Structures are given as structure tokens and as C-alpha cells.
Structure 1
Amino acid sequence: MVQSPEQPYGDPQGTDVRLDQALTFQVDLASRGLDCSLERVLEQFPDLDKDAESVLAILYNSYRLTPCEQRAERQRELCDRFPQHAAALDRQIHFGEIVDSCLGVDELSDSWSGDDTVVEFDEQGKEVRDRTNPLASISSIGRFQIERLIGHGGMSSVYLAVDTVIGRQVAIKVPRIRKNSAGAFDERCFEEARIAAKCDHPGLIDILEVGRWRDCFYLVTRYADRGDLATWMENNPGPQPVDQVTDLIRKVAEAVAHCHSQKVLHLDLKPANLLFTSDPERPDDESIFPGKVLVADFGLSRAVELDASDASTTKQFGTLLYMSPEQLDADPDRLKPTIDVFALGVVLYQLLTGHHPFAAATPFGLMQRIYQGDFIGFKHQSHVPGDLQKICLTCLATEPSNRYQTAGELAADLNRFRKGEAVAGLPESSLHRFVRWCRQPKRIEQAAIVSAVGHGAILIGFIAAWTLFCFVDFEFPISTTEISIDIAKLCVFPHLPAVLLSLAVLRGHHSLQWGNVMLGASTVVLVAVTFITGESPIRRYAGEPFAFVVSHVLVFGMAIATFIPQVFSIPALAAIKSRRSKHAIG
């Protein structure tokens, strides 16, 4: 039972436990119509105030507890009130929309539901998908006798049926009931059939019939009587033999390559869509896999030439575990065969190692790792040959340009590997690796730390120099007033503003890092101009060329060392700006 607002919770049992209690408490407040703001929750759980991830989770839960039609305004309000968490909150909201899309959650609902919160997230997928059963009370569709439900997802349910005319078992796919979008969703199913009809390959599942029965769309395909790869992987965990895995993925890649040659993208390749059927041509096949593999489910397929302005292409699509970074961005201009190549790379890696290449504890952590290219790698997978590792790494490159450009290129490289020939691969260049490293959000805070330390050190040096000039007698004439003015000018611009900006960035105002970049550049230019013109206190008062050169070389070196990390933070700043712009447009 959820405790009332007046009842204190027990002693802390770790941050995770306390956060779970805080989120549950927040849901309870919302259900009572009480204040469920961050401030109210932290009153009850003050120990979470110092943990940035906990504060972010509470803010995000506050957003999710807001009615759908008010969420955009709520997001702006939260970002304005808590600018230090604005970038992270925007990113988490964006990722949350992807999770909802993958789970088939309706885009708009009439009111808030407790199922749509961080607290209930782990059960959300099952509850959403079990909400309806399109054929629960129907025993047949036309000449097809329904036998049982054999699969379901966020978009449709699949049933085993018998064609009573010829006595053949078939699979019937029926859209799941979706609020306010029945017509559009049925049209997507017709689109699936039309797209699939363009492709004719022995590695693709056959579509036998498509139609409508009592306002219910249905699509009939060949029945794969030996299950799917997802079920097989559940029953056979761990790394699989390299030669068998290579042969399987090669066959899948060849089938997908045929689709690519017809300018068709699958966009939802995953183990559940790789089906097995008996192969009469190879009845004694000694493969560990249960039969001939077929690629199924073109429900998210797109023709490459599809108009990118189509609103449906701007949505997130696919299955989260197999999404590429560009799918996470929901960028219709990046719909290319490289998306399918990435998904095949994930499946290949899973079969070779027994785990996901971007495994994380939460969906948000998974998306973050995919987006940043934080790949687990093959460090403890010595059984995987180097050339096959190269193939897998090429498939999973963060930048699409560094992957195989079509599934055909992947199939060709897998063929070369099986024959013992040198593989082509598309290894990521040093420049691309460096840019990807610079795009990581932590580069911003690291640059701010360097800026604060560098400019702070220069300020301390100025203060020390001023003290020296004021209280030590020199052999040459010194104007304390002029020295004070010179040092004050340099403190006011650029060093003191740079320190203050850096501290603001470290408090979460990441957009202010652009100011640090400009101040860093200004510092380098000022020192260089001073060195070239000779206009400095050291030259004016000491008249000592050696001291002038040494001191300015040291200051110039420090300015450069401080400025370089600011330049490295620009890709990360640009990435954040791009994500926020896309989210605002959406």
C-alpha cells in the first residue's frame, strides 16, 4: 500500500530503493489530485536532491503524469524551471516517445493512466499488448478456420489457421485494435502487402492473400512450422558456432539484399521476424537451426523512394533492441538500407556472443548506448575470428556511411569469410572515431572544467603579478595605477566571464558552453595580438625581451591548452541543439 503524504518513509535502503519509493509516492500524490512536483517529492525524500539521475527521474515522472494534451507545455515549463536538467530531460522525453512507439502505446489518451509512468514501466509492454485480442470471439475468416493465437506485437496479432479449401496451414496477421487510427492502420497493412509483392525471393515469406472481413483487415502468409529465431535463442542461450551463425546471417542478408535491390527497406529486422520452416531440399541438414530461414513481417517496410514529407515516416519505428542511431533520431532523410544492415549486425553479434552489443539495465540506457556508439565489443570473445569481428563492427558503426551500404555488401563479405578470403569491411576512420568521441555529452562538462581551471589559473597569476608589482621594489619605474588598469581589463574580459560561464555549465546550463568557445578563441587572439604588437606591461616597464618572450609563450600555451577542449565540445553542443530542434519541430 502506498503511504500517505503525512507518513514518513523508512530509513534509506540505497538510492535505487529510495527512488522507487519516491516515484511511487509521486504517483500516489497525482492520483489524489495533490501537488506532485519535484519540490514536493524532495521534501519527503531530501536525500535524493544531490543525485542528478534521481532528480531527472522525478522530473520525467512528473512529465508522464501530465495529461497528454498538456505535456508539450509541461516540458517547456520544466526545462525553464530546471535549466541544469533541460538537456537530459529533453533527451529522456525523446527516448520515452520511442519506447511508447515500440510498445504500441496510443499517441493520445483521454486522461492520465497510472500504467503510463516510470514506476510501472516494466509491466507496460505486456499490459499494452494484452489489452485487445482482435479475433477473441471469431472462429473463422472466410474459408480460413482459426485454430489459435501464435504471436503478437505492438501492431498486430498472428493466428494459426487452416485453409479449408486445400487443407493447408497458414498464418493470418490481423491488426490490433488501435484507438483513433483504425483506417490508417489498415492502410499500412495493405501497404505491407503491396511492398512485399515487389519482392520475390526464396528467403522471404510468401504472402498468399490479403483482404478485409467484417471491417477487419487480414493478411495470409505461409505458415512457418518450426518457429522463429527469437524463440530458438531463448531455448538455446549463449554463443553459437561461428560457421553456423555465419551461414544463417548470410542467407538472411541475401534475402534482404533482394529487397534492397527492389528499393524496399524492411526497417524491423529482428529474431522474431526470422522464421524457420521445413526444407524439403535439405531434409538431412545438420544445422543447429531448426529449418530453412525466411524473412517475415514487412509491416514497417518502406519503399526507398517514399516521400519523406509523409507524416508517417517521421515517427519512430522498429523494435528498440534493433534500432540504429538514425532511427532513434526519427530522421526521415536517413531512411536507407544501412538501417537494415545495423539490425543484422545486432542479430549477428547476439548469436556470436550470447548477449546484446549495447546491453544496458534500462531502455533509456540502451538507447543512450546505441546513440553514442558505446559498443561492448569482443574483448572477452576470443572464439570469434578477427575478420568476423570486423564484419560485425562494420554493421554496427554509428555513422551509416561507415557501414555496409546494402545487405548485399554484407552477404558478399560473409561469403568471403566462409571461403577464407580477406574481407572488405568498412573500418571506421580515425576522423569519424574522433568526431563520435567529441559528440558525447560529457565532452561539454570536461571542457568547462578545463576552462574554469585554465582561466582561473590565469586570474590567480594576474593577482600574484599585481601584488608583486605593488609591494616589491624594482629597478625600473612602475606605475601601479597603469598596472592595475591593465590587469583589471584582462580580468573583466575574458578570464572572469570564462570562469563564471564554466561554473554555470557545470551546473547544467550546457548551452552556455558556446560562450566558453567564443571566449577561448578571444583569449588566444588577444594573447597573439599582444605578442605580435609588443604591447604588454612586461615590455613597457621591464624592457626585457627574454622575459617578454618567455612569459607570453607560457600564457599563449595555456590559452591554447584551454581553448582546444572548447573546440572539442562543439560537436556535442551541435548534437544537443539538433536533437532539441527536431523535438521542437515534432
Structure 2
Amino acid sequence: MTGISQFCRDVQHEVTVPSDDALSDEEAVRRLCRVDDPVQRQDLLDDLCGDNHQRRDRLASLVEAAKNGNRPLAAFDLSAPGRSKSTVHETPGVPMNLAETPVDSQFSRSPLKQIGNYELTRLVGRGGMGNVFHARDPALDREVALKVPRVEVMLSPDVERRFIREARAAAQLDHPNLVSILQVGSDGPYPYIASQWCDGGDLATWMRKNPQPRDPYDAARFMAAVADAIQHCHGRRIVHLDLKPSNILLVGRDDQTDPRSDLAALHPKVTDFGLARLMDVQLDQTTESMFLGTPLYMAPEQAECRRDLIGPASDVFALGVVLHELATGKRPFDGETLTLVLDQIRSVNVHSTMPLRKLPRDLRTIISRCLQREPSDRYSTAAALCDDLRLFASENPIRIRRVSLGRRFWLWCRRPERITQTGVVTVAIQIAVLSNLYSHYVLMGLGYQVPFSVDNWQFFKETIPVALFPHLPLLINGFRTIRRKRWSVTIGILLSLVFVGALASVLFGAKAAFSAYQGNPLASYVAHLFICCMALVQLIAHLIAIPAAMKESAERGRTAALI
């Protein structure tokens, strides 16, 4: 095995790949080596490691060794014989503190101590595309944050383009709650962006250090400043698309002595415009990544890749997610795997799934309006959100109204579980009706004496056609509806209409349905009235499921178009 091409050929026979959260280092290295593009490899590395920076560095070095070395893959497995596991020290799930992280081992061994006119002092953060260093500008004697592409993605032609795009986007902006860009340049192979240094770290780190409940009015004032900064971006036709706590840096206010202990003492600064897009530039599906944003904070249209809907409303949704996390201490969408998180986002229902009960009603209304599934149901602008947050913080009535009861009912009907519930209702009703038709046969078979006289053979012949249509088709379609088969809701509506119509004709007709009811119209009326009520319940359940069925059909159409 002489290089990366031979190494990849050796592992092409691997067919099954474990899930990201269960991959061993050996399998992770195999999977990373299958990706030739450095940017895509870096994205995969982020998915595999998350906030575990120790494992990220280890896997990156193993992949580099696999590309350049002649050792078999077993040599890269930490569990391989002869390798001491004591040399690996991991702290899973503990992200880097942007304000206080010491120089890591790789940086301390690196000869790179200066880029351009800036002296590098320590590595303070790692992102999907670049590393962020604390640096010093000796000419002006000031601290700066220097963003440099990661070494493993330097060879990609997309790196320079993305850096230039981020710099151009940020250079158009001038707002007190946005990180200021000081200089953009390059030093040999290293392009860099020098920006304002924020000494308070980032909001994600602050929330981990301060898990106690936050004052909702302080949270509203803080997020009003962030929303105002995002509106400034939108006013210049730029959408951020990656707003999250780690992209909100903190600066202590001048009138506060301790900027780290109290939310009211913090001044937010929004940063990282690496995914920013101009509103009038159409997203290119061939060159852009499949997901635009961070899964825990992305809007439903981003999770579903509905690129025609991605815009300012997507940033409003992210603002709502950050506000929810800041006010309650919990993320609205969370899960052990990416799939679970995306499923929660796609079926978002803020009225029933989010822990907002302890918050004031107006703040719950603000968060709920931000986290609506459809972009048209959210705040129309970030400025409108900012105004309501400031009104709430000053204890004045907010302008936005709660979502109307009719709209909430429509959104409730659109949830995919309505289809499954309709199938369960149908199966239960049909089993009950069929059991009622033939229950006396079961009692007679068990030796019980039924309290009425009936010609069993005649009754059986009369009920068989009814059982075969519509009861048996409805029962079968009920199971199809539970499995959410195509057209099952439409078929169920048609059969339910036949069911209700047949019962209505018996109730309002002069002739009894079966010979057993002749001469006893009251018994016939009561029996058929009860079954008719159940048939109406079944029909209503199918009608309620129509919006969910329409939504599911549209999603299948979009999926087929993508394929």
C-alpha cells in the first residue's frame, strides 16, 4: 500500500457503514479516506466528531498518515495490540472555551507563529472551515481574532472563494452588535480575516458555565440586540443562515465590573458569515452543501432543502431557537442522532412539544411565532421581532398576536401522525362493527342462550354482503392508512361516505336492514343510530387527515424530483 489511492481501494469492499455515532476510529478513517474533496472530508469529520476536538485531531492525523504512509489500517486502530490507550485523553461533549482555551499541542509544535503583521498567541476555536487564533497587532498594539483556513482544506479551490465571500459579506456591514472586520489578506498560502477581538467568549460557552435560570426580561433584551444586528444584515440583502450561540460572541459592557456572571452585563456580537448569502443570488444545488446551517438551529426549509424558501425567515427561526435555549436552558430540538433532530424540526409543533410553560405569556407568544413551520407564519422581519422583544423587556404589550385558533387547528391537522391515528380509528371501528354483527354467533358457540330468536342462516346471508362491502375494504384500508400508504386517506373518505350513506338510508327509510329487525323498528333505529355515529367519527377522522396527506404527497413529489 503506497498511497491514499491504494489505501482507498483496499477498503472499497466495505459495504455496510455503521452510523456516525457508533463508528470506531478505524471505520471513521476508512470512511474519511473515501472522500477525495478536502471540504467534504472536513464536513464529514465535523459530523463524526461534533464537539470532541481531541478525536477530531486524532482522526485528521490518522487520515493524513493513511494518505502518506505505508502502514496497514490496523496500525491506525487505537485498539490494535501494542498501542497504549493511556496516550489518548478524551473529554467527550466538552466544547472548547473560546475565551480561555490554552495553546493546543499541534499549535505549540507548529513553526507558524505569525501571519501577515499579526503575532499568533493561542488557538481559541475551531470551525468547519477554519481555525480562529488570538493574535496581536504590534503596529497598533491591539488584540485581534485571526481566522485562517484549516490545513486539511487549504488545497481545496473552494476555500479561497468561501473566505472571500465571508469577507465581502461582513465588509458590507457596520453595526454595534456585529463583529467588525479589520483586515482581509493573505500571507503566502494562508488567507486570513482579522476581526475585532471579543474577550467574553461566546454565548454557548457562557450558557454552559451559567446553567441557572435566566431572567426572561434580560434574555429578551439580549436577543433584541441580536435581532437588530440580523435586521441590519437583511437590510443589506444578506442572510446569515448559521446563527447559533457559538456564533454570538460576548463583550462586557463598560459600566459592568464582571462581564461573565450576569446576562445583563453582556453585549452580543454576531460573527461567522461563512454561509451568508445574498438574497438576490439563487442557491446553486450543484456546488453548495446539501444542508445550509447547523442542524440544531436550522429552519424546517433548510432541513428539507427547500431552497426557494430559504431567506430572512430562516434567520428569524434561528433567532427563536436561540431565544428558547437562552430563556429555558433547553434546546427546542435535540436528539442522539442527526436524523432525530431533523425529524423534530420538520414536524415542529411549538404549542405542545416545547417546555415554555414557566415563561411569561408574551414571551411564549414571541418564541412560538418565531418557531412556526411555515416561513409566512413567522415574524415578517427581524425588526418586528426586535420591536416585540424590546416591548416585552420594558413590560409593554407586544404587537404580534397569538396564532389564531383556526390556524393552529390547520397546523395540528398537518402533522403526519394524524394519518396514523386515522388508520387506528378506522380499524377499531370496523372491528367493533363486525364484532357486533356476529357477536351472537360467538355467544351461541360458547353455550350461552341469546335473549332473542333469529334465523341464523338467514341473518348470515343478509350480513355477508354488508361485511364484504364496505366493512372489509374499510378494515383493510385502515391498516394501509396506519402504514401511510399512498391514496389511503382518499380511499378511506370514499368508503366512509358509502358507509354513512347506507346507514342514513336505513335510519330514514321505512324498511329494516335485516329480517331480524322486522316488527321491531325501535331496535333497528337504536342499533343503526349507534353505528352511524361511529361511521361519522370515522369520516371526520379521515377529513382531518386530509392536510397531512396533502403535505406528505407534496414531500414525496419533492423527493422524487430530487432523485
CA distance in 2 between counterparts of 1:180 and 1:540 reads: 86
- Given the alignment, which residue of 340, 349, 354 partners 1:376? 354
What is the match of residue 373 of structure 2? 398
Residues 16-415 of structure 1 aligned to structure 2 (within 5 Å): 100=47, 136-176=110-150, 182-277=156-251, 282=255, 288-289=262-263, 291-308=266-283, 310-311=285-286, 315-360=290-335, 362-372=337-347, 373=349, 375-379=353-357, 381=358, 384-415=359-390
What is the match of residue 4 of structure 1? none
CA distance in 2 between counterparts of 1:574 and 1:131 reads: 55
CA distance in 2 between counterparts of 1:539 and 1:66 reads: 75
CA distance in 2 between counterparts of 1:450 and 1:97 reads: 44
CA drift at 1:295: 1.1
> Cα gap change, 1:142/1:398 in structure 2, threshold over 3 Å: closer, same or farther?
same
> Cα gap change, 1:434/1:291 in structure 2, threshold over 3 Å: closer, same or farther?
closer
CA distance in 2 between counterparts of 1:97 and 1:542 reads: 74
- TM-score, scaled to structure 1: 0.69
Structure 1: 5+ residue stretches without partners: 1-30, 39-53, 59-63, 71-95, 116-121
Other structure's SS at 2:308 match: helix
CA drift at 1:408: 0.7
Other structure's SS at 1:334 match: coil
> Cα gap change, 1:573/1:66 in structure 2, threshold over 3 Å: closer, same or farther?
farther
RMSD: 4.7
The alignment status of 1:488 with 2:464, answered yes or no, reads yes
CA distance in 1 between counterparts of 2:360 and 2:124 reads: 37
CA drift at 1:224: 1.4
CA drift at 1:496: 0.8
Other structure's SS at 1:332 match: coil
Amino acid at match of 1:456: I
> Cα gap change, 1:136/1:509 in structure 2, threshold over 3 Å: closer, same or farther?
farther
CA distance in 2 between counterparts of 1:410 and 1:548 reads: 61
Flag the structure with more relative contact order, 1 or 2, with Cα contacts below 8 A and sequence separation at least 6: 1
Other structure's SS at 2:250 match: strand
Q: In percent, how many aligned pairs have the same letter?
A: 31
> Can you list the C-alpha shifts for 1:43-92, whole angstroms capped at 9, x where unaligned?
xxxxxxxxxxx9xx99xxxxx9998999xxxxxxxxxxxxxxxxxxxxxx
On the 8 A contact 1:102/1:154 being kept in 2, the answer is no
Other structure's SS at 1:408 match: helix
On the 8 A contact 1:238/1:351 being kept in 2, the answer is no
On the 8 A contact 1:203/1:293 being kept in 2, the answer is yes
CA distance in 1 between counterparts of 2:110 and 2:508 reads: 84
The alignment status of 1:558 with 2:534, answered yes or no, reads yes
CA distance in 2 between counterparts of 1:462 and 1:488 reads: 10
The range that moved more, 195-204 or 403-412, is: 195-204
> Cα gap change, 1:432/1:197 in structure 2, threshold over 3 Å: closer, same or farther?
same
> Cα gap change, 1:467/1:351 in structure 2, threshold over 3 Å: closer, same or farther?
closer
CA distance in 2 between counterparts of 1:315 and 1:223 reads: 32
What is the match of residue 568 of structure 1? 544
> Cα gap change, 1:279/1:462 in structure 2, threshold over 3 Å: closer, same or farther?
closer
Other structure's SS at 1:351 match: helix
> Cα gap change, 1:101/1:181 in structure 2, threshold over 3 Å: closer, same or farther?
farther
CA distance in 1 between counterparts of 2:233 and 2:389 reads: 18
- Given the alignment, which residue of 410, 423, 437 partners 2:398? 423
Amino acid at match of 1:395: C
> Cα gap change, 1:36/1:243 in structure 2, threshold over 3 Å: closer, same or farther?
closer
On the 8 A contact 2:506/2:513 being kept in 1, the answer is no
On the 8 A contact 2:248/2:268 being kept in 1, the answer is yes
CA drift at 1:283: 6.5
What is the match of residue 476 of structure 2? 500
> Cα gap change, 1:473/1:205 in structure 2, threshold over 3 Å: closer, same or farther?
closer
CA distance in 2 between counterparts of 1:288 and 1:541 reads: 78
Other structure's SS at 1:333 match: coil
> Cα gap change, 1:397/1:203 in structure 2, threshold over 3 Å: closer, same or farther?
same
Amino acid at match of 1:556: C
CA distance in 1 between counterparts of 2:166 and 2:543 reads: 47
Other structure's SS at 2:122 match: strand
CA drift at 1:340: 1.8
- TM-score, scaled to structure 2: 0.71
> Cα gap change, 1:579/1:100 in structure 2, threshold over 3 Å: closer, same or farther?
farther
CA distance in 2 between counterparts of 1:521 and 1:65 reads: 59
On the 8 A contact 1:205/1:295 being kept in 2, the answer is yes
Amino acid at match of 1:258: H
CA distance in 2 between counterparts of 1:132 and 1:523 reads: 74
> Cα gap change, 1:246/1:220 in structure 2, threshold over 3 Å: closer, same or farther?
same
Query: How many positions carry a matched residue from both structures?
Result: 486
> Cα gap change, 1:101/1:402 in structure 2, threshold over 3 Å: closer, same or farther?
farther
CA drift at 1:422: 0.8
> Can you list the C-alpha shifts for 1:165-185, whole angstroms capped at 9, x where unaligned?
333322121233566982224
